[in-house]
With several copies, the nearest count.
Chain A
C-alpha cells in the first residue's frame, strides 16, 4: 500500500486537522469528531446533519457550509460514525427548528443514526431522517438491506440544504430530501478496487480486461464482473439500468451527476458525460443541470457512477440557490 499518510490509525483525525486548517468557515471538533459550520447553530434554521464512513471525500465534510449541511460526522474509513458523535453534532447545530439527518442506506449507518436520533429525542430535539437509497444495481426488497445510498446523496444534501437555508420548515426540508431521493437512480462501474489504509491492500483484484459492474462506494465487489467495453456501451447499460428503475420519458428534465470514484481522471468523466448527454438527447430527456467531477468517492478506486434525478421546477430552483462549501460552491 502506498499512501500519503502517517500511521493508518490516524488518517481520519489528521485529515480532519487538514480540513480545519484549510477552511476557516468550518469548525472541526476533533474530540467529538464532527465538522460544523462555524456560524452554527443558526437560530430558527432547520439544521442538516449527515455523515458516514470516511473515504468518500468531499462527501460529507466538504459539503458543510451555507446552503448545504450544517454538520457532518465522519466515521473511520468506510465505517459509519457512532451515535455519540452524531448526537454531539446534532446538538451542536440545532437552532431550535429541528434537525434533518441525511443517512445513506447501509445497515451500519442506519442503525447508528437511529440510535443517535433516539438519544436526541430523549433530550427533546426534533429529528427527521431522510434515507438515501438510489443505487439501482441492488435489487430492492424488504427482505434485504435494500438499495445503497450513493451519488444522489449530494443532490439530496444540496437541494434540502437550499430549502433549509431559505427558511423551510423541518417537515418540508425532509420532504424535499425524500422527493429528490425517490426521483434519483444511480449505477456505478469500477475498473480497480480502492485500498483502505487499515486493510493495506485492494478490496479485490481484477484482471486487466475486466471490470466490476454495479459497485457501491465501499470497495466491495459489484453485482457482476464483466469484460471492459467501450465507454459508449457501458454508459448505455448503466442508463438502461437506471431508467428501468426510475423512468424518464420524452420531455422530462433531469439533473445529471457523472461522479468519479477517486482514481478516474476528469478527462474520462467528461468523455462519459458526453455519452450520457448523447443518449438522453436521443430519448428526448433534457439535462437541466449537471455536475461532472469527484464528489462521492471511494478512496482511490478507478471508477465512476452516473446519477439521474427527474427534476421539478422547485428542485432546479433549489439547485441553483447559492452554496458555499469546500466541495461545492456557486452564487457565493
Chain B
C-alpha cells in the first residue's frame, strides 16, 4: 500500500459512511442515541479536509492524521475508538511511502489493541470489535496463505459484514446499547456496521 492508495481508501470510506449515514443513525436510534451516522459523517468530512490540505510522505502518517482528525471532530464513543485505532494503525506502520502486507497485518492488530485498551470490549459484546476482529483474522489468514492485497481486503470485508450481521442476535455489554439489557438483541450494532463499511471501502478500491 502506498500513500495514494491509503488516501484513496480513506476517501472511499468517507464516501461510504456519508452515503450510509442515515442508515447508521437509524441503527443507532434503535439501541443507542441516534447519532452514529452524523458522527461518522462529521468525522470523515474532517478526514477528507485533512487529506485535501496535507502533503504526505509516509503511509503511516496518512492514518495518524486521519485518526487525529477523528478524535478532534467526532466525540461520542466512536471518536476516540476509531481515532485511536487509526492512530495506532498508522504509528505501527514502518516509515516511508510504501508498506507491505505483513506491515498491514501488524498495524491492524495495533488498531484493534487500541480499541480494546480504550473500550475494554470483548468479542460478543456487540460492538465494532465484532466486525473488526473477524476482518483482521480473515485478512491475516489470507496474507499467510499468500493472497494479494485485493483478495485479502475482499475477505476482510466479507468477514466484517458477517461479523456485523452476527451482532444482531447479541445482547450488548458495552456502549449505550448495554443500557437496554436484553432489548438490545435483534438489532445490528451501528459501530460494527460502520467498521464493515470501512473494510468494504478497502476491498472496493483495491478490487481488480
Q: Is A in direct contact with B (CB under 8 Å) within the complex?
A: yes
Interface residues in chain A, defined as those with a beta carbon under 8 Å from any beta carbon in chain B: 53, 75-84, 106-108, 111-112, 114-115, 137-139, 143-145, 148, 196, 198-199, 203-204, 216, 218-224
Question: Nearest-CB distance from A143 to chain B (Å)?
Answer: 6
Question: Nearest-CB distance from A298 to chain B (Å)?
Answer: 9
Q: How far is the CA of A196 from the CA of B32 in the complex (A)?
A: 12
Contact check, B77 vs A219: say whether CB atoms are below 8 A apart.
no
User: CB-nearest residue of chain B relative to A198?
Assistant: B38
Beyond A107-B119, A198-B25, whether A203 also contacts B75 by CB under 8 A is no
Question: Nearest-CB distance from B194 to chain A (Å)?
Answer: 14
Q: SS class of chain B's interface: helix, strand, loop or mixed? A: helix
Contact check, B75 vs A220: say whether CB atoms are below 8 A apart.
no
Contact check, B179 vs A76: say whether CB atoms are below 8 A apart.
no
- The 6 A-B residue pairs with the shortest CB-CB distance in the complex, in nearest-first order: A218-B33, A108-B76, A111-B80, A108-B77, A107-B77, A199-B34
Taken residue by residue from 32 to 67, chain B's Cβ proximity to chain A (1 for < 8 Å, 0 otherwise) reads as 111100110010000000000000000000000000
B129 at the interface (CB under 8 A from A): no
Question: Nearest-CB distance from A136 to chain B (Å)?
Answer: 12
Known: A108-B77, A108-B78, A138-B178. 8 other contacts (CB 8 A): A53-B76, A77-B35, A82-B71, A107-B77, A111-B79, A199-B25, A199-B35, A221-B180
Interface centre among B25, B38, B73, B81 (most CB of A within 10 A): B38
Given the complex, which residues of B lie within 8 Å of A198, measured CB to CB?
Answer: 25, 34-35, 38
Q: SS class of chain A's interface: helix, strand, loop or mixed? A: loop
Contact check, B75 vs A82: say whether CB atoms are below 8 A apart.
yes
Given the complex, which residues of A lie within 8 Å of B174, measured CB to CB?
Answer: 107, 144-145
Beyond A83-B72, A198-B38, A199-B29, whether A111 also contacts B77 by CB under 8 A is yes
| A/B interface sample: 8 pairs, CB < 8 A | A53-B75, A53-B76, A106-B176, A111-B79, A111-B81, A137-B179, A220-B179, A222-B180
